């Protein structure tokens, strides 16, 4: 009986140390996520600027592909944040409106999904205009998964 009492006392004393030791990595992960979001948003802005400034560049297909990937990641992160209750994110319903780039709808039960409309527009342009792009198979596959 005395051993059990000592064990419980030791466990209760050690518990706050374990909890406080775990709080630091959570703050670090949050700070890293913010830095990743800023870098991603900066890359998106630069790629969009490139596409506007050089509409006939030979590098346009690769820029569209990379921009599409970054837009998917941003939509996924915004959706995850909205699910956690952090910030509201634009959502599209899974009906006909979801197949129209740029359409948004308020959250409805059972019909919430990330807003992939900007990424879909980029992938559609890539698939339609650059069928000989070396990663067209990956672009077409990703486009299919976004609908």
pLDDT in tens, 102-144: 444 444 343 388 999 999 999 999 999 999 999 999 999 999 9
Of the candidates 75, 82, 66, 78, the residue with the CA atom closest to the CA atom of residue 98: 75
Whole-number pLDDT of residue 112:
82
Segment 58-76 shows an average pLDDT of: 97
Question: Tens digits of per-residue pLDDT, 43-59?
Answer: 999 999 999 999 999 99
Of the candidates 102, 80, 76, 105, the residue with the CA atom closest to the CA atom of residue 91: 105
Query: 35-146: what fold?
Result: 1.25.40
CB 125 within 8 A of CB 133: no
Q: What is the pTM of this model?
A: 0.64
pLDDT at 16 over 50: no
pLDDT at 82 over 60: yes
> Tokens at residue 40, please?
């991603």
């Amino acid at each position: 009986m005395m051993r059990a009492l000592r064990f419980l006392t030791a466990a209760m004393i050690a518990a706050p140390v374990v909890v406080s030791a775990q709080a630091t990595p959570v703050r670090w992960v949050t700070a890293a996520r913010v830095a990743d979001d800023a870098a991603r948003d900066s890359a998106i802005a630069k790629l969009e600027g490139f596409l506007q400034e050089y509409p006939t560049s030979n590098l346009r297909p690769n820029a569209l592909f990379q921009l599409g990937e970054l837009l998917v990641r941003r939509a996924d992160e915004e959706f995850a944040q909205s699910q956690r209750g952090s910030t509201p994110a634009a959502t599209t319903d899974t009906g006909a409106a979801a197949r129209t780039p740029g359409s948004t709808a308020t959250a409805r039960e059972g019909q919430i999904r990330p807003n992939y409309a900007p990424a879909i527009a980029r992938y559609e342009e890539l698939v339609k205009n650059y069928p000989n792009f070396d990663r067209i198979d990956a672009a077409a596959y990703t486009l299919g998964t976004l609908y």
